[in-house]
Amino acid sequence: MAQQAAAGRIDAVRRFNRFYTRRIGALRRGLAGSPFPLPEARVLYELAHREGATASQIGRDLALDAGYLSRLLGGLRRRGLVRAHPAPGDARASRLSLTEKGAAAFGRLDARTREQIGAMLRDLPEAGQKRVVDAMGTLENLLDGARAPGAVALRPPRPGDMGRVVQLHGELYAKEFGYDATFEALVAEIVADYVRRFDPALERCWIAERDGAVAGSVFLVKKSRTVAKLRLLILAPEARGLGLGARLVGECIDFARRAGYRKLVLWTQSHLAAARAIYQAAGFRRTSSEKHHSFGKRLVAEVWELRL
């Protein structure tokens, strides 16, 4: 009986794999109507979302054979989509990046893929869309054996997350910095404005999840067609010291560049040393500061900017 049950589960997984690869067109010659087969598209995606990766890093993360990956990269380089630079301090390794042509090609591919997935989800009611996304998250969490308990995942917001973001800000800033309830009110206004005016082409929210609970967040919102604002970066105490703040800020920067913004700005306070260190490491520079009295405290507000 146990063998029959195991065989049935294997058949079910194979059936789902056949269904889903057909549904998203993974077996077509070009992904999402592009000239790129799936392996090339995945390599382009990785290079678009990280800086200075080596071939070995890409191969490890995509579980690709070194020889096969070398042929993929060779083809992309001959087409002028990828370039290699010597790695600082290691003449044997090369850092890979997209060329301007490669970035443009990925931008078109990314837009088509998002459009294709959006169309697939739009065929479902709102509740059905949520069930699909939640089920995918469950599959990812269960099958990703490398994700140890306590590891943090970044994901889009779900119903209830926005309230937790407001609560987390109110709790932590009161406990750690003595802010009064007017700060929580400000965060609630920012969150409500984001939800009411959300523009999916130009704005994003990332929720950090740890062991099923919201452990942090960051928002990227439109200020103008060329300027975006980074807002509401926060980490619960149990999620600190993991490099998560840099990951969240990096997601904002990457998305802002893909969306075509020229500058990313943020507003913070001079006493928030950990956040300021993250911003500085990411390339932000302080452009102004001003004393003010807010949230029951005497503070020094700072504006930081990053040219994209």
Check residue 178 and report its DSSP letter.
-
Does the domain at 150-307 match CATH 3.40.630.30? Answer given as yes
Decide which of 284 and 129 is more confident: 284
Q: Are 100 and 80 in contact (CB under 8 A)?
A: no
21: number of Cβ within 10 Å: 13
What is the Cα–Cα distance from 75 to 249, expressed in whole angstroms? Answer: 32
Specify the pLDDT at position 93.
Answer: 65
112 contacts: CB under 8 Å, gap ≥ 6 = 32, 33, 34
State whether residue 93 is helix, strand or coil: strand
Beta bridge partners of 265: 229, 305
Q: Is the pLDDT of residue 21 over 70?
A: yes
Query: Domain 2-123, what fold?
Result: Arc Repressor Mutant, subunit A (1.10.10)
If one compares 18 and 269, the residue with the highest pLDDT of the two is 269
pTM of the predicted structure, to 2 decimals: 0.56
**Helical axes 100-122 vs 38-48, angle rounded to 10°:** 110
User: What's the rounded Cα separation, in Å, for the pair 42 and 20?
Assistant: 17
Domain boundaries, the chain: 2-123, 150-307
Q: What share of the chain has pLDDT > 70, as a percent? A: 90
Residue type, 111: A
Reported as type and span, the H/E element at residue 85 is strand 82-87
Closest CA to 81 of 97, 61, 58, 59: 97
- Band (pLDDT 50/70/90 cuts) for residue 92 is low
**Would you state the torsion angle of the CA atoms of residues 36, 39, 41, 46, taken in this order, to the nearest 10 degrees?**
-160
Residue 125 is encoded by which pair of tokens? 């009611």
Q: Using one digit for the tens of pLDDT, what is the confidence trace for 154-208?
A: 899 998 999 999 999 999 999 999 999 999 999 999 999 999 999 988 999 999 9
Q: Would the pLDDT of 111 be above 90?
A: no
Backbone angles phi, psi at 182, to 5 degrees: -65, -25
Would the pLDDT of 50 be above 70? Answer: no
For residue 239, the Cα-to-chain-centroid distance in whole angstroms is 17
In this predicted structure, what is the pLDDT of residue 109?
A: 84
pLDDT by residue (tens digit) across 220-236?
999 999 999 999 999 99
Least confident of 102-106, 119-123, 142-146, 293-297: 142-146
Average pLDDT estimate for 61-70: 84
- Name the burial class of residue 296, with classes exposed (0-12), middle (13-18) and buried (19+) by CB atoms within 10 angstroms of its CB: middle
Tell how far CA 173 is from the center of its chain: 25
Please indicate whether the domains covering 2-123 and 150-307 agree at the CATH topology level: no
Q: pLDDT tens across 283-303, in order? A: 999 999 999 999 999 999 999
235, 218 Cβ separation under 8 angstroms:
no
Between residues 149 and 268, the one the model is more confident about: 268
pLDDT at residue 130 in the model: 78
| CB-based burial, 258-288: b 16+ in 10 Å, e otherwise | ebebeebbbebbeebeebbebbeebebeeee
